[in-house]
Amino acid sequence: MPRVKKPKKVKEPIRLRTKDLADGCKSLYLDIYRNGKRSYEYLKMYLVPETDSNARHQNEITMAAANAIKSKRIIELTSGEAGIVNHVEKVYLLDWMNTYRENQKKRGKKGIDHIKSVIRILQEYAGDRYTLDRVDLSFCQGYIDFMLTAYRYRGKLIAASTRNTYYQILNGALNAAVRAKRMLRNPFNEMDKSEKPKMPESVRSYMTIEEVRALIATPIQNEEVKRAYLFSCFCGLRISDIVGLKWKDVFLDNGQYRLSVAMQKTKEPIYLPLSNEALKWMPEQGNKTGNDFVFHLPAHINVCLKPWAVKAGITKHFTFHTARHTFATMMLTLGADLYTVSKLLGHTSVKMTQVYAKIVNKKKDDAVNLTNGLFD
């Protein structure tokens, strides 16, 4: 009697696996292997140490939920390979990116030029005819690696902050594709957090009190530019808000001069008290009406500023925006609390102001360390 061959066991394209964590728990993830490529989807679900019956019961529920996700992913994967997903024709990635760009433009979103840059990068990385349905975790990891090691803009690698922006744009475009039923899911969501580009901690260039004094003592070709910069040093307004400032925005309230400004960047209205130092650098109103602008500044203001800084002996990075950084750092150094400074700057969150607190803390550390070695 001939031996009956046992049927070959079909390997599952997706397996549920665990990863041991330092606290004794196990992280659940899907190990996806298809067409010679391996990817992972971390489920953000965890098995706890089974110290009692409650823990065991919790783990049973967690495993059941994880296996349900696994089954769903297998159906999605096999359905996609069978060509039955959404019953729509394939879309080229670059075509989708152009559609995404147009939609963002219609909605009045900023950064449209950045989307054009991402399209150029994707064209160089994947070519013109890469279809959206082929964008998987491996593709997204490769896109990040390509920006990190291979892509050059004007012969140079792009900065970490730019890389983060370009990652965010592609991530947003893929999320839009999922919402439009062009993709089953965004592969970036499967990526481990450590693999994603991070925004580097922002560095703020600011003027010290001594440097502000040097600027005050140094003449400049355009006196209006000097006044505007020093006014910003003592009130913290951005250049866009100073350019748009009108005399009707300045008013006297119980002996205190204030500004009423809807900030150009955030559209948030603020009521900013003006110190005597700030008032000192405002021009005279004279016979100007409330609808007249307070300052009249040239279009390329930073071109006027740099020779002035050089004459004052300042060698650090110097633009008009350093005045705003100077105001924030000066206020914290002189003892103002973080919340108050945040409101004076018109920040929508105190977190945005904390970078200045780090600068001040570093200054304190440097000051204390000046005594090091004095008494050895």
Task: For residue 331, give the CATH number of its domain.
Answer: 1.10.443.10
Regarding predicted confidence, which is higher, 43 or 290?
290
Q: Let me know whether 28 and 67 are in one domain.
A: yes
Reply yes or no on whether the pLDDT at 81 is more than 70.
no
Q: Let me know whether 252 and 346 are in one domain.
A: yes
- pLDDT tens, 206-262? 898 899 999 999 999 899 999 999 999 999 998 988 999 999 999 888 889 988 887
Q: Let me know whether 220 and 343 are in one domain.
A: yes
- pLDDT tens, 337-369? 888 888 888 887 777 777 777 777 766 666 556
Sequence length of the chain is 376
Instruction: Identify the domain containing residue 154 by its residue range.
Output: 93-195
Asked whether residue 222 is assigned to any structural domain, the reply reads yes
Reply yes or no on whether the pLDDT at 88 is more than 50.
no
Q: Let me know whether 342 and 219 are in one domain.
A: yes
Last residue of a domain, one of 162, 195, 228: 195
Amino acid 22: pLDDT: 83
User: Alpha carbon of 334 to those of 54, 256, 294, 362: distances in Å?
Assistant: 55, 21, 28, 15
Last residue of a domain, one of 59, 81, 103: 81
Q: Let me know whether 235 and 334 are in one domain.
A: yes
Tally of domains within the chain: 3
Q: Let me know whether 56 and 117 are in one domain.
A: no
Reply yes or no on whether the pLDDT at 8 is more than 60.
no
Calculate the average pLDDT of the chain.
Answer: 84
Q: Let me know whether 108 and 256 are in one domain.
A: no
Residue pair 263/346 in contact by the 8 Å Cβ criterion: yes
- pTM > 0.75: yes or no: no
Amino acid 121: pLDDT: 94
Distance CA(299)–CA(279), nearest Å, equals 24
Asked whether residue 88 is assigned to any structural domain, the reply reads no
Q: Let me know whether 45 and 170 are in one domain.
A: no
Q: Let me know whether 224 and 270 are in one domain.
A: yes
- pLDDT tens, 19-74? 888 888 888 888 888 777 788 888 878 898 888 888 888 888 888 888 888 887 77
Amino acid 235: pLDDT: 92
Distance CA(127)–CA(130), nearest Å, equals 6
Mean pLDDT, to the nearest integer, of 178-187?
88
Amino acid 38: pLDDT: 81
Last residue of a domain, one of 168, 195, 222: 195
Asked whether residue 335 is assigned to any structural domain, the reply reads yes
